[in-house]
Amino acid sequence: MARHHWQINDRWVSALFALGLFLAIWQVVVWVGNYPAYILPSPAQVAVRFGQAVSSGILVSNTFVTLGEMALGFALGAGGGLLLGYLIYKLRPLERLLSPYIAASQALPIVAIAPLLVLWFGFGLLPKVLVCAIIVFFPITVSVISGLRGIERDLLEVADLFGASAWQKLYLVELPLAARSIFAGLRISVTLTATGAVVGEFISPSAGLGYLLSYSSVNLDASLRFVALFTLVALATAAYALVGWLERRVLNW
């Protein structure tokens, strides 16, 4: 227990040291380059702008909009990826039918798909959620297939020998043994939802952190742009940590 506590403290110290070094280098670059605030603000200017954005409510309200899009898109994409991955694992003909199309879909840049979704579904929440879901869908589908196919056949045969039903095999054998691979896909995908939400908000800028990024660019407010970027990074990091925490709980169980 003490060793685990020390490892946690060590990670925090390393993270804080890296953050301090980053801020110091940033400040030195501003001093040496003598950049105006509308091009490269100093860390102190960004911190002041962060306080202003929080006190005015503009940051909190737009952050919750992006967070909602991320959560809905992740739920939709992850649910679809888990289901399709399992079906492809079970039904080899389905894999031969769908695999070329799933692979080809990844060659399409999401910035090209997003305007079409807005055209089809309007300027509301749905196209932004769909952009997040599309980004999430492929990594999770692949991780599910990879994890399930990595299970040793002997273990599945033992389950069959003991008369396990399909549901019992899924719950007691397949999901536990494929959990590490599945969670690896979930960790990668949950960070990508931040990108998907911002892309959707760029195409349909009404609210969210993507809207703040567009607004700050138009108004030459580089400090607000950095505030929005760092908030987006914080959301993605928190989502990644949450999935990692859930993974540890599930694997321990």
State how far the Cα of 123 lies from the Cα of 200, in Å rounded to an integer. 9
What is the rounded distance in angstroms from the CA atom of residue 13 to the CA atom of residue 11? 5
Residue 228, domain member (yes or no): yes
Among residues 223, 244, 236, 245, the alpha carbon closest in space to that of 69 is found at 236
CATH number at residue 157: 1.10.3720.10
CA separation for the pair 30, 145 (Å, rounded) = 48
- Domain presence at residue 47: yes
Domain that holds residue 2: 1-26+42-51
Task: Tell me, yes or no, whether 113 and 17 share the same domain.
Answer: no
Shared domain for 244 and 148, answered yes or no, is yes
In order of 21, 139, 146, 179, the CA distances from 103 in angstroms are 41, 11, 15, 23
Is 243 found in the same domain as 148?
yes
pLDDT tens, residue by residue, 188-244: 899 889 888 888 888 877 788 988 998 888 888 889 999 999 999 999 999 999 998
- Summarised one tens digit per residue, pLDDT across range 169-183 is 877 788 888 888 899
Q: Do 148 and 69 belong to one domain? A: yes
Give the number of domains in the chain.
Answer: 2
Enter the pTM of the model.
0.84
State which residues of the chain have pLDDT below 50. 2, 6
Distance CA 69, CA 65 (A): 6
Residue 37 lies in a domain: no
